[in-house]
């Protein structure tokens, strides 16, 4: 599991560790790791042009000492001193190694630019004189390596308020920072390289975590020799309408492909016909009125994809949410809940899977604010609504009150197409029915769904049905099991 921490958590651990080490030890460890990554990126160091963007803080010191190491290996190294002060010992070491102080005119000529302008202690928008330096670095031909976090990215949240460095690689010290894993900050960070400076024993519980394939492998349910369809989990799906028949097909398909023992689908006649045609494996109940009488026992429900938002859909939602099993609410179900928050007054677990617009309606927030601060708003919704939140988007996050937010690392921009969210609902619903908690079901479903999207797209456009078809291959990739 990849864990990440806020700036305050990192600084607290550094403070404890620095008290136990000779002065300057952590900076030398950081600079050594930074220089090694830069050397690998350059390939051949001798004769290459390296420009350091040096701010007032410790990141500037890291950059100067890394520059010293590169200069001793034959690189041309110039430092643009942009801060109100400069790390004096670092600058002296650079000059002694043959480096020099230069002006910003050298930025376009660099093969490599090391961003040491601001570090994890700076929040909010960048100010002069950093803004033009960031613009010139982003426009330059040289690869940018950011020290700890790209300047302009909030280390604790991923917020970007104004100009920010777009790094090819971010070399982060001691531990991953939350803002490197969450968009918009993650989009500026490029590839992440972690330098171990000895913080491990001094770090608190993480702020966020990203599951690896190994973590998902451990959590995914597997059938045993004595399993039957009921033991594997029976999922109810209340989705689809005369207008949106495909949503029902995709949600049921996602659930079946993810390993549900049985799917009981309920809906009106038009989506019923489509589900029967596409998925003869599903047990289908055609509803003339919004009732669950005679549907049979289920272990979890998926509620909402394409269901509609009228009185009929509201009554069916009330019946589903009146049950005593976990319920996943998506799409039109979220619109119904936004209009009637009383539907959430239940004791059984609830998982909601909104995009930013749906979450905005649920918690009466601005969509742009949610996109800019995904962690903050996902946490707020989980606490305010008493539910587990899977917030979809460029970075999918899973929030549950009093737990570290989980960040999904799989996926592809090709998943931004209609119906893929319905497939995700089915996958997560199948895991809920199999007995996973909302927190684990959401996290594993996001991982598997994102991986299925990558496999289905392979660098080209996809449709939602392709994602559903690729779910078994994604599960095989995670579990290492073959036919």
**Binding-site residue set for K(+):** 59, 115, 151
Q: Which residues are annotated as a binding site for (6S)-NADPHX?
A: 58-62, 119-125, 130, 148, 247, 306, 355, 422
Instruction: Mention every residue, 6+ apart, whose C-beta is less than 8 A from residue 253.
Output: 278, 279, 423, 426, 465, 468
What is d(CA 56, CA 87) in angstroms, rounded to the nearest whole number? Answer: 7
Q: From residue 449, how far is each of 161, 404, 414 by CA, in Å?
A: 31, 21, 12
Beta bridge partners of 191: 169
310 CA to centre of own chain: 33
What is d(CA 186, CA 157) in angstroms, rounded to the nearest whole number? Answer: 10
Distance in angstroms between the alpha carbons of the first and the last residue of the chain = 27
Question: How many CB atoms neighbour CB 163 within 10 A?
Answer: 17
Q: Which residues are annotated as a binding site for AMP?
A: 392-396, 421
Token pair belonging to 205: 């519980």
471, 451 in Cβ contact below 8 A?
A: no
Which of these, 41, 14, 5, lies nearest to 114 by C-alpha position?
41
Task: Quote helix, strand, coil % in the chain, to nearest 5.
Answer: 45, 15, 40
Q: Which residues are annotated as a binding site?
A: 58-62, 115, 119-125, 130, 148, 151, 247, 306, 355, 392-396, 421-422
Torsion of CA 101, 107, 108, 112, to 10 degrees: 100
Indicate left, alpha or beta for 152 from its phi (over 0: left) and psi (-120 to 50: alpha).
left
């Amino acid at each position: 599991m990849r864990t990440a921490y806020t700036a305050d958590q990192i600084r607290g651990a550094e403070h404890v560790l620095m008290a136990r080490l000779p002065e300057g030890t952590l900076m030398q460890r950081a600079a050594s790791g930074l220089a090694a990554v830069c050397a690998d990126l350059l390939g051949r160091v001798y004769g290459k042009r390296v420009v350091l963007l040096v701010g007032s803080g410790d990141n500037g010191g890291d950059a100067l000492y890394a520059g010293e190491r590169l200069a001793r290996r034959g690189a041309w190294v110039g430092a643009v001193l942009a801060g109100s002060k400069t790390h004096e010992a670092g600058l002296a070491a650079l000059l002694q190694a043959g480096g020099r102080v230069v002006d910003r005119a050298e930025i376009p000529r660099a093969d490599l630019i090391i961003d040491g302008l601001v570090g994890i202690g700076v929040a909010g928008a960048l100010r002069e004189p950093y803004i033009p330096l960031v613009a010139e670095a982003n426009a330059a031909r040289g690869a940018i390596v950011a020290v700890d976090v790209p300047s302009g990215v909030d280390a604790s949240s991923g917020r970007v308020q104004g100009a920010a460095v777009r790094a090819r690689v971010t070399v982060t010290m001691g531990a991953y920072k939350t803002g490197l894993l969450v968009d918009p900050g993650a989009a500026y960070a490029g590839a992440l390289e972690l330098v171990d400076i000895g913080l491990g024993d001094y770090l608190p519980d993480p702020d966020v975590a990203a599951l690896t394939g190994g973590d998902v492998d451990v959590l995914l349910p597997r059938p045993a020799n004595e399993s039957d369809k009921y033991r594997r989990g029976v999922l109810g799906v209340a989705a689809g309408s005369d207008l949106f028949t495909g949503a029902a097909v995709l949600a049921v398909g996602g659930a079946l492909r993810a390993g549900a023992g049985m799917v009981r689908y309920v809906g009106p006649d038009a989506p019923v016909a489509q589900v029967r045609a596409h998925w003869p494996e599903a047990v289908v109940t055609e509803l003339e009125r919004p009732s669950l009488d005679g549907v049979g026992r289920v272990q979890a429900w998926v509620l909402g994809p394409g269901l509609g938002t009228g009185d009929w859909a509201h009554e069916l939602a009330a019946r589903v949410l009146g049950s005593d099993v976990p319920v996943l609410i998506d799409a039109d179900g979220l619109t119904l809940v936004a209009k009637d928050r009383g539907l959430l007054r239940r004791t059984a677990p609830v998982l909601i899977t909104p995009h930013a617009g749906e979450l905005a309606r649920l918690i009466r927030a601005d969509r742009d604010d949610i996109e800019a601060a995904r962690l903050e708003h996902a946490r707020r919704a989980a606490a305010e609504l008493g539910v587990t939140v899977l917030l979809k988007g460029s970075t999918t996050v899973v929030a549950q009150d009093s737990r570290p937010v989980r960040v999904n690392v799989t996926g592809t921009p090709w998943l931004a197409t209609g119906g893929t969210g319905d497939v995700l609902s089915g996958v997560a619903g199948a895991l809920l029915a199999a007995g996973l908690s909302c927190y684990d079901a959401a996290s594993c479903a996001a991982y598997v769904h994102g991986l299925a999207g990558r496999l289905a797209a392979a660098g080209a456009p996809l449709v939602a049905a392709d994602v559903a078809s690729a779910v078994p291959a994604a599960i095989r990739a995670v579990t290492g099991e073959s036919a």
